[in-house]
Amino acid sequence: MALPGAAMAEAEPGWGFMESNAEYAAYGSSLLAEPSLTVRGNVLHIQNAQGSALEVYDVTGKRVILQSIESNDKTVTLNLNKGCYIVRIGKLTRKISLS
C-alpha cells in the first residue's frame, strides 16, 4: 500500500544524482559554477563563463562591446569613457561604474 502523497512526491522534480558519465557530458560543467565577474578600475575579470558572450551596454542601451568568452578565466580591459555601464554574461547581469 502506498503512502498518501507518495505518487505525487515521485512526480515532483528535485535533487538527484546523475546516473552515468553520459548524463554529465550532456550537462557539462554548467552544473558546477555560475559565471562570476570582478571589476577593478576598468578591468573585468570573468570566471566560469567559457562559451558565453560578454556584452557591455551604455546608459542609453547601446551595446558598446560584444565579445565571445573562450576560456573559464578571462581578463578584459575596457577602453570606455567614465560612466555607468551594464555588463551581461549569459544570464548574469551587473551594473558597473568606470571612473
Q: CATH no. for residue 61? A: 2.60.40.3080
The grid cell for 83 is 560612466
Would you state the pLDDT for residue 97?
Answer: 95
Is 89 inside any structural domain? yes
pTM: 0.67
Would you state the pLDDT for residue 86?
Answer: 98
65 close to 88: Cβ distance less than 8 angstroms = no
Range of the domain at 61: 33-98
Tell me the Ramachandran region of residue 72: left when phi exceeds 0, alpha when psi lies from -120 to 50, beta otherwise: alpha
The grid cell for 39 is 571589476
Is 3 inside any structural domain? no
Is 12 inside any structural domain? no
The grid cell for 98 is 568606470
Is 7 inside any structural domain? no
- For residue 74, give Cα distances in angstroms to 15, 36, 52, 91: 31, 11, 11, 17
Is 27 inside any structural domain? no
**Domain count within the chain:** 1
Would you state the pLDDT for residue 8?
Answer: 47
Is 41 inside any structural domain? yes
- The amino acid occupying position 19 is E
Is 83 inside any structural domain? yes
- The amino acid occupying position 96 is I
Per-residue pLDDT for the chain (99 aa), expressed as one digit of tens each?
A: 555 555 544 445 555 555 555 555 555 544 568 999 999 999 999 999 999 999 999 999 999 999 999 999 999 999 999 999 999 999 999 999 998
